Structure 1
Amino acid sequence: MAAVAMMDVVMLTYAVVRAFATFFQILYLCYSKETDYAVMTVLMVTEYARNFARRCSTWFSLSISIVRTLVIRYPMSTRMENLSRPKAAFVIIGGIMAVIIPVNILDVFRLSVNVAHEPYICSEYGMGNQFRAYDVTRSQYFKTHYELVQTTYKIIDGITSKMIPFILFPIATVFLILEIRKSNILRKKMTSQPTSNNSSNTSYLVLVQTLAFFIAELPLGTIFLLQSLFDDTAYYGVYKLLISFEIFFTTFVPAITSSHMVICMFMSSQYRMNALMVIRCGYPLKEKKEEKNLVATRMA
C-alpha cells in the first residue's frame, strides 16, 4: 500500500506542477527563452513520471489483490505467508517497475520540447499566456517514424497497462471476495467474537479499484488496440472515430486518478498510515501519551 500511495502522490504532482507552470506564465508575461525551455522540460518530465506512476499503480493494486487472495486461500502455507512480508513486497515492486520501465521508455521517443513560435519576440502585450517560445509536442523521431512508433506504443501500452489487468482484476476480485467470505464464516463458527471490518474494507477497496479500472482504462486499452488496425491518414473513417472516443475516455482518467487516493484514504487504515509516512519522509508518528500511560498501567 505504501507503493500505491507513493505512485498516487506522483500522479497528483503532475497536476500541481502544471498549475504552477500556468501560474508562472501568467505572472511573468515576459521572460527568456531559456526559462521557457526549462519550464516545458519540467512539464515533459512530470508527464513521463505521471504515465509511469499510473501504470505502476494499476499493477501494484492488482498485485495486492492477488497476494491477499493467495494468503487467505492457503493460510497454512509458509510460501504464501512469505508473500505478505516486506522482503517479498520489495521483490514484487521491483519486478513490476522493471517491467514498466521499458514500456515507459517509449514516452521518451514520443515527446520532446520543440520550438512553438519563431522568431520569438517578447513584449508586454505580445506574449501573454497563449504565446510561448517552446511547447511539449511530438518528437522529430516520432514524426519521422510515426507509423512504427505509434503502432508499437499503442499495442504495448494497450496490452500491458490495460488489457492484461482487465483480465486479471475481475478474477482476483471474485476470488478475493469469496475467500474472505469463507474465512469470515469459519471465524464465526470458531469464535463468538464479532469479525473485524478490515477484511470487508479490503474487499470493497479492491472492488472499487476494479470498477474504476473498467470505467477508464479498459475502454482506452480497447481503443489503442483498434487504432493500430486502421489507417490514420484518412480525414474521415474509423480511426478518426476512435480518436474521438479516446479523447472522451481520457477525460475520465484524471478524475479516476484523483479519486483513487481519496477512496483509499477513507477505506484503508494501512493506506492512511503509509500515506502519512510518505508525506513525513519516513519519519514515524509519535505515540500519544495516553496510550503510553495505558500500556504502563497494564504492565504494572
Structure 2
Amino acid sequence: MNSEVEPDFVQSFQNVLSLLEDDAFLVNFILACISLIANIFHFVVITRKSMRISSVNVLMIGVSICNIFRMLTAIYRYLELVDLEYPECITSDSYLKMYFDIISWWLQDYFRRCSSWMEIFIATARLIIMRDMSSARNTNAAKPKLGVILMLLVFFASGAVQGIWLYTVKVVENQAHSLYSNCAEHQDVIKVSRFILDLRPESNYGKLVLIRTYFILDVICSHFLPSLALPILTLFLLREMRIIKQSRSTLQRSGVVVDNEEKYGLPTKLIALLTITSFLADTPLGCIGIAKAFIQQGTKLMRFLTDLIVYFNILTTAMTIFHPVMCLLMSSQYRITARKLLRIKKKSASFSAGNNASIFPVSGNF
C-alpha cells in the first residue's frame, strides 16, 4: 500500500510544480536581471585599488565574475531556449544557434562550480587568518597574490571537468535520431528540427567512461564537497568569532594583534553570512544532484527532482543579489569606495564616527 501511495504523492506534487513552472521561470528571469545589475556594480566597486588588498577580496572579485556570467546565461536561456530544464533537449534549425545554446548550458554549470569553490576558499582563507592574528605565518594567507592563484586554479580545474561534457556531445542533423522522452514536457518531439544534440558516435564503452567520469566528477566537485564544506566552515567561523569576542573582553591584547584585528576583524561576520547563504542555496541542489546519481533516467522521480531544481535555482539567484547588498551594509570600506565611485559626499563627520564605533574594528576586507 505504501508503495502505491508514494508514487501518487510524488505525481500529485509534481503536477503542482508543473503548473507553477512558467511563473517560476519568469521569477527567476526577473531576479537574474536584478542580480546582473547589482553584481556589475559590485564588480566595479571591489575592483577598485582600495579594495584589492587581500586574498579574500580578490576571491570575491572572482565570485562576482561568476555571478555576472551565470545571470547572463540565465537571461539568455529564458529568452532563447525552448526547454529550460534538460540540456539534452536542445533543438534548432540554425547550426550556429545550437552551439550558442550548448555554450549557455556549459557556462551555467562551469561558473556555478567556480562560484561554489571560490566561496569555500574565501571562508577557508578567512578562517586561517583568524586562527592566530598575531602569527606572521598567517600574513601569506591574506596576500592578494594568493587570491589570484586560487581564482585561476578554480577556473582551470572547473574548465577541465566541464570540458569532458563538451566532448561527449555533438550537433547532428536530425535524420533518424529521436529526442528523449522527457523532452516532450516542453516541446513537440514529433516535430522535426534540423539539428539536435546527440552523443558522439564512439564505442559504447568509450561513451560510458566519458559520461560516467564527467557525472561523477560533477557530482563530487559541484555538489557533494561544497555541501559538506560550507556548513563545516560556517561552524568554524562562528566558533572563531565567539572565541575572539570572549578573549577581547578578558585579555589585554598586544599592539600587533590589535593592528591585525583592525585589518582583518570586521569581515568575519560578513564572511560567515555569505557562507551561510551559500550553504542554504547550494546544499539542496547538492543533495538533489547526489540523489539523481542513483535514479534511473526517465522515471517519475527523476523528473520530480528536476522540477525541484527549477525552484531551488530561484533561491540561488536571489542569494547572488544578497552578496553586494551585505557587503554594502557590513563593510565600511566598501561603502566609502561606493560613495567615491558615485561621487557622493558624507553629510557629516558624526556619521563616520558612528560606523567606527562597532564591536569589530573597521576593515576593508570581506
Task: Tell me, yes or no, whether TM beats 0.5.
Answer: yes
Change in 2 beyond 3 A, CA 1:13/1:142: farther
- TM-score w.r.t. structure 2 length? 0.59
- 1:288 equivalent in alignment to 2:288: no
**For the residues of structure 1 that align with 2:330 and 2:193, how far apart are their CA atoms?**
42
Deviation sequence 1:110-168 (CA, Å, 0-9, x none):
333333479xxxxxxxxxx9767445523334795443333222211111222222232
**Aligned twin of 1:137:** 197
Question: Is the deviation greater in 171-180 or in 202-211?
Answer: 202-211
**Aligned twin of 1:78:** 136
- TM-score w.r.t. structure 1 length? 0.70
Structure 2 gaps of 5+ residues are: 1-59, 83-91, 177-186, 253-261, 350-366
1:56 to 100, 105, 114: 114
**Aligned twin of 1:89:** 147
Deviation of 1:265 after TM superposition, in Å, equals 2.5
Deviation of 1:69 after TM superposition, in Å, equals 0.9
Superposed counterparts of 1:222-261, under 5 Å: 222-224=291-293, 226-227=294-295, 240=299, 243-244=302-303, 246-261=305-320
Change in 2 beyond 3 A, CA 1:289/1:244: closer
**For the residues of structure 1 that align with 2:322 and 2:196, how far apart are their CA atoms?**
32
- 1:184 equivalent in alignment to 2:184: no
Deviation of 1:46 after TM superposition, in Å, equals 2.0
Change in 2 beyond 3 A, CA 1:184/1:117: farther
**Aligned twin of 1:153:** 214
- 1:174 equivalent in alignment to 2:235: yes
**For the residues of structure 2 that align with 1:285 and 1:206, how far apart are their CA atoms?**
27
Q: Is the 8 A contact 2:125 2:141 kept in 1?
A: yes
Deviation of 1:3 after TM superposition, in Å, equals 0.8
Determine which structure has greater relative contact order: mean sequence separation of CA pairs < 8 Å that are 6+ residues apart, divided by chain length.
2
Q: Is the 8 A contact 2:234 2:272 kept in 1?
A: yes
Q: Is the 8 A contact 2:129 2:141 kept in 1?
A: yes
Deviation sequence 1:169-227 (CA, Å, 0-9, x none):
22211111100122223334569xxx987533332221121122221123313432x35
Change in 2 beyond 3 A, CA 1:271/1:140: farther
**Aligned twin of 2:288:** 219
Change in 2 beyond 3 A, CA 1:290/1:166: closer
Change in 2 beyond 3 A, CA 1:158/1:268: same
- The letter for the 2-side match of 1:288 is I
- The letter for the 1-side match of 2:279 is T
**Aligned twin of 2:20:** none
Deviation of 1:4 after TM superposition, in Å, equals 0.7
Change in 2 beyond 3 A, CA 1:246/1:142: farther
Change in 2 beyond 3 A, CA 1:197/1:88: closer
Deviation sequence 1:35-71 (CA, Å, 0-9, x none):
x222221111122111110100010111111111111
**For the residues of structure 1 that align with 2:223 and 2:326, how far apart are their CA atoms?**
24
Structure 1 gaps of 5+ residues are: 24-32, 119-128, 278-283, 295-300
- The letter for the 1-side match of 2:268 is S
- 1:19 equivalent in alignment to 2:78: yes
**Aligned twin of 2:125:** 67
**For the residues of structure 1 that align with 2:330 and 2:201, how far apart are their CA atoms?**
41
- 1:3 equivalent in alignment to 2:76: no
Aligned length, in residue pairs = 253
**Aligned twin of 1:202:** 271
- Identity, in percent, stands at 18
